[in-house]
Amino acid sequence: ERPLAETKGEGDVLTLRLPVADEVDQLVLQEDCRTGHRVRAYRVDADLAGGGWKELCRGTCVGHKRIETFAPVVAKALRVTATEAKGVPFWRSMAAYSV
């Protein structure tokens, strides 16, 4: 299945903007493990189409791949924040899905 949108980058905060506001209920996070597993804890928020950011979930240890599922929301953007990390996180992929 193809993602609604996908991005990558580095840093404590990574934002994924959707082409249009859409229903999202799954997010796949991946770290670039060549530099080690750096993310120890994270939070995922959605920029809701109705306005404002809302926390969707929290987790620990992203590693090779972490799949987060949550109640469907209509979002314009998603944001992952590394709330604890050992060094600068390198995000191999952040992809949003509607299943």
The string of pLDDT tens digits covering residues 14-23 is: 999 999 999 9
Residues of the chain with pLDDT under 50: none
Q: What is the pTM of this model?
A: 0.94
**Residue 1: per-residue pLDDT:** 80
pLDDT at 63: 94
What residues contact 56, with CB distance under 8 A and at least 6 apart?
27, 44, 45, 46, 68, 70, 73, 78
Task: Give the torsion sign (CA, 68, 34, 80, 76).
Answer: negative
Q: What pLDDT, on a 0 to 100 scale, did the predictor assign at position 50?
A: 83
How is residue 9 written in tokens? 């980058």
Q: Distance from CA of residue 36 to its chain's centroid?
A: 19
Query: What is d(CA 6, CA 86) in angstroms, rounded to the nearest whole number?
Result: 24
Distance in angstroms (rounded) separating the CA atoms of residues 72 and 74: 7
